[in-house]
Structure 1
Amino acid sequence: MSDHLFYKLRSGKPVKFLNFLQKFIGLAIPDAYYRSRRKSMLEAARKRPDYEYLKQRVDYYMRITSPWTISMEDKLTRDRSWIHYTGALGDYRRKMFHTAYYFDQHDVTRWFPPRLRWNFCPGDVYFTPKEPTIVKSRLLSEDNMNSVVLKLDKLRHFMYVYDTKPFREKKDCAIFRGKIRQSRLRTAFLQRFFGHPMCDCGVVGRNEGCPEKWMTDKKTIREHLDYKFIIALEGNDVASNLKWVMSSNSLAVMTRPTCETWFMEGQLIPDYHYVEVKEDFSDFEDKLKYYIAYPEKAEEIIAHAHEYVSQFRDNKREELLQLMVMQRYFETSGQL
């Protein structure tokens, strides 16, 4: 227990307790205060010099432009890693799903009348809903229109690092720490590279059916930054470490993404923003050796990754974007 607490205090990740405490205190501000400011916020957005950029982001997250009708029947469906809720904003309760998702959705929905109805599917979503639904993650496919992306599970997914160690001073090695989560990719990677001299990899948390030898101790984010390459492989949906890895001076190494979140993983360019490897990892070792031999090429990718990450660092703009996405969601459903 003490080791677990010690890791949490020095892991480099935000302290969930402190974040939740801040959010609980924030509930003391009446939602009516935010609702009274929504129209002026949206009007001010149109005068911003980056308004065209804002519209592009909103179009990306909310692909629905034609009218649709939401069901008037309240529903709640549960699964292992997600729920699907249909009902009024004001009827969604914290105990229905993880507290982090409750606070993240409330950051946005408090700007709107509680009578408005929505389809909400928090959790690791690896399918496309049958009706327009607010999700954290969606499949990268042509028919994903019903998946409307919002910035959810922010504390876990949207964190960045300040990395002072240059790429050339890091270990000529790749690191992976994570859970298997029934991931075909993660299992295949560990089967091939566990114990490899160019890899420091292992499974953390509870043993979910993997070989016992794969189980290992966690490493802090600071310890990850000692390595030139950090593996970012999809689990249930996206790789949750990708955002902070791309803000570091290490290279993110991953297969081409099949899911995306608010981070717009579908916009990432292989070998420009990250190092892409094949799904069978047959080119993994060659890719690592190439960027070790040509560190200037690695530094170019790191610079591009930093540039990409920078667009998500303006918290006020991020809040406004979510407001615009939800505004369009309620407008197209004929409720505003």
Structure 2
Amino acid sequence: MDEPGNGLCWYNSDRSFHRCCVEEDPGCWIGSWATEQLCCYPLTERHRKCFNAIEGRVEIKLGRIRGLLAEVQATGLQEEAASLMRHSYAYEALLAQPLAVWAWACSVPDSPLIWSDNCECCEPAESHCRDQALRPQENQIWTEFAECCFPVYSRKTLLPMDAFLRESISSDLQALRPQSDSIRKDGPKLLWDLGKGHAARGCLLSVHENGTVTSCSESHACHEFDCSYLRAVLLALKVIQSTNPLPALDFILSAADETVENPFPEAPVFTRVGTRWTATVALPAEWQLHPAQCQRTLNEGMFATEKFKWEDREAVLIWRGTYSNLWAKDCKAARAAKDGAAMEECVRLPPGQVRWPVWNFTTWLQLPRGRLVWLSRFVPFIDARFVASSLLPPMEASLEMFLQDEKLFAPRMEPLAFGQYKYQIAMEGNSAADRLSWQLFLGSVVLIPDQPWQVMSPLNMLQPWVHFVPVSYDLSDLVDRLLWLISHDAEAKVIAQNGLAFAHRQAHSFHQLSVRSFAT
């Protein structure tokens, strides 16, 4: 079928360019890796060639399975034949839906089935496939993976930036006055005491004229804690450099969960989470994930939207999470909800003090997650429970026993299960709520409390009562907000749909652009 846009989206599908891109039927994008930004624009020649290469490899593997199947059937090995037939059906189903092939390839970039030209392994694995030397090397995979899997980002970086996004990014960056000498000289001196012997140091990352990227050592950036965020940012830079390379620049990264102070405003710190009062540039929280892991997380939200219709969902606010809020001595939730200076005290501490998860009968109702869980004890349309965590210091034993007795602990929930409910809430933990990056894809109304954290573009383009419902920092108006949503179900559904549309059109494709704007 020769239709405009990305022809892979219309092949063997009930979608069409006219229905999805002209009439803008939102049902086109429910429960699918397909999005408006991917499907309504033609692929570049490079991406068409890349897809053809992926599809060709799958066809070769299917051919090998069929050859093995013929040999096994000829010898009368029925059990082995049945296994091979199941594998062949799976690959035939993939080839019948080209977009599924691409989605799968971009979700499992380490699969030799897809990314290796010289590995002949197929599923079920042949005996020689156990030889690790035959598996493709990471560097070999990454160049092609990055060039293949980000067609939307590739297109957007070459087009004039959306006016609203440009305004949003400019607002984020206008207070910064970066000086290259300070970035190189002062930035690596930055040190953040994370408590319990953990510390983060300013890490200098450089993009060079020839397009290569260099970084400080992990031993410098991360003392006694996992350096996965630095690795994730370096992977993201590989994606950027493989599609539309950045100009030469230097910048400082904090690999810690959050950056709450920076004495060198001329050396802005790129960070997973910054505060409203710190010279930081907030990067996408989901960059802590491998890009393929991030894609799988978003897919789960999309499938939840398909599986659970709005009318069939429970009118309940659902939340599960750990007791990860960090306590600051002078932070009082009710006061912080009304006064910006008081809220600053919740994250900015005197020298030598650090925030730490101190959970006891004195502190727990000053912490947002504690307030939410306690509300659910009395409000039937709030289902908020703690889940156990071996990664956090234990809360006070008497408090934990009390919460267990009140049935305020519960097992973890799979992301798909959240789609059974109409309302979600983006609760801060030890820093900003990173789950917001996938909650918007669930098709539920997302309630977002006020917070002391810097919100990165494009999420600060979200409009209250259009894409989400605002809530006070101390949750004092949460019940009223939910009562309104329950009694205005049609309006609530529109807010949920607007949030979902925003996620598809904005949040999934603009993340790297803030880095590019800083560079230019």
Could you say whether these structures have the same fold, taking a TM-score greater than 0.5 normalized by the shorter chain as the test? yes
Number of the residue aligned with 2:189: 75
Number of the residue aligned with 2:217: 93
Number of the residue aligned with 2:491: 297
TM-score, normalisation: structure 1? 0.72
Query: Pick from 103, 107, 111: which aligns with 2:231?
Result: 103
Q: 1:127-276, aligned counterparts within 5 Å?
A: 127-131=260-264, 132-139=268-275, 141=276, 143-144=277-278, 146-154=279-287, 155=289, 159-160=297-298, 161-162=301-302, 163-164=305-306, 165-183=308-326, 184-194=367-377, 196-206=379-389, 208-209=394-395, 210-212=399-401, 213=404, 214-262=408-456, 264-276=458-470
Q: Deviations over 1:25-46 (max 9, x none)?
A: 5534899xx9xxxxxx99x988
Contact 2:110 2:141 in 1 (8 A): no
Residues in 2 aligned to 1:28 and 1:238: alpha-carbon distance in whole angstroms: 35
Give how far 1:229 is off.
1.3
Contact 1:257 1:265 in 2 (8 A): no
Query: Pick from 133, 139, 153: which aligns with 1:27?
Result: 139
Residues in 2 aligned to 1:227 and 1:215: alpha-carbon distance in whole angstroms: 19
Q: Deviations over 1:204-245 (max 9, x none)?
A: 132741534132200111111111112221112211222222
Residues in 2 aligned to 1:279 and 1:314: alpha-carbon distance in whole angstroms: 27
Show structure 1 runs of 5+ residues with no match: 1-17, 35-40, 329-336
**Which amino acid is the alignment partner of residue 70 of structure 1?**
I
Contact 1:121 1:133 in 2 (8 A): yes
Residues in 2 aligned to 1:27 and 1:195: alpha-carbon distance in whole angstroms: 54
Number of the residue aligned with 1:334: none
Contact 1:232 1:241 in 2 (8 A): yes
Give how far 1:275 is off.
2.0
TM-aligned CA distance change 1:197 to 1:62, over 3 Å: same
TM-aligned CA distance change 1:241 to 1:45, over 3 Å: closer
TM-aligned CA distance change 1:65 to 1:217, over 3 Å: closer
Give how far 1:136 is off.
1.5
Number of the residue aligned with 2:59: none
Aligned residue pair count = 299
TM-aligned CA distance change 1:58 to 1:197, over 3 Å: closer
Q: Are 1:84 and 2:192 an aligned pair?
A: no
Q: CA RMSD in A?
A: 4.0
Show structure 2 runs of 5+ residues with no match: 1-106, 112-135, 147-152, 207-213, 327-366
TM-aligned CA distance change 1:264 to 1:30, over 3 Å: closer
Residues in 2 aligned to 1:149 and 1:122: alpha-carbon distance in whole angstroms: 12
Contact 1:86 1:117 in 2 (8 A): no
**Which amino acid is the alignment partner of residue 472 of structure 2?**
K
**Which amino acid is the alignment partner of residue 122 of structure 1?**
A
Q: Deviations over 1:99-121 (max 9, x none)?
A: 531232213555489x9643211
Higher mean C-alpha deviation, range 98-107 or range 238-247: 98-107
Relative CO higher for 1 or 2, CA cutoff 8 Å, sep ≥ 6? 1
SS at match of 2:257: coil
SS at match of 1:168: helix
Residues in 1 aligned to 2:260 and 2:109: alpha-carbon distance in whole angstroms: 29
Percent of aligned pairs with the same amino acid: 16
**Which amino acid is the alignment partner of residue 260 of structure 2?**
F
Identify the structure with the greater helix proportion: 2
Query: Pick from 167, 177, 185: which aligns with 1:56?
Result: 167
Residues in 2 aligned to 1:225 and 1:30: alpha-carbon distance in whole angstroms: 33
**Which amino acid is the alignment partner of residue 56 of structure 1?**
E
Residues in 2 aligned to 1:254 and 1:189: alpha-carbon distance in whole angstroms: 13
SS at match of 1:272: coil
Q: Are 1:123 and 2:256 an aligned pair?
A: yes
Residues in 2 aligned to 1:65 and 1:280: alpha-carbon distance in whole angstroms: 30
Contact 2:369 2:427 in 1 (8 A): yes
Query: Pick from 324, 330, 333: which aligns with 2:516?
Result: 324
Contact 1:231 1:252 in 2 (8 A): yes
**Which amino acid is the alignment partner of residue 171 of structure 1?**
E
Q: 1:269-288, aligned counterparts within 5 Å?
A: 269-288=463-482
Contact 1:245 1:252 in 2 (8 A): yes
Residues in 1 aligned to 2:487 and 2:162: alpha-carbon distance in whole angstroms: 43
Contact 1:256 1:270 in 2 (8 A): no
Contact 1:62 1:149 in 2 (8 A): no
Residues in 2 aligned to 1:268 and 1:109: alpha-carbon distance in whole angstroms: 26
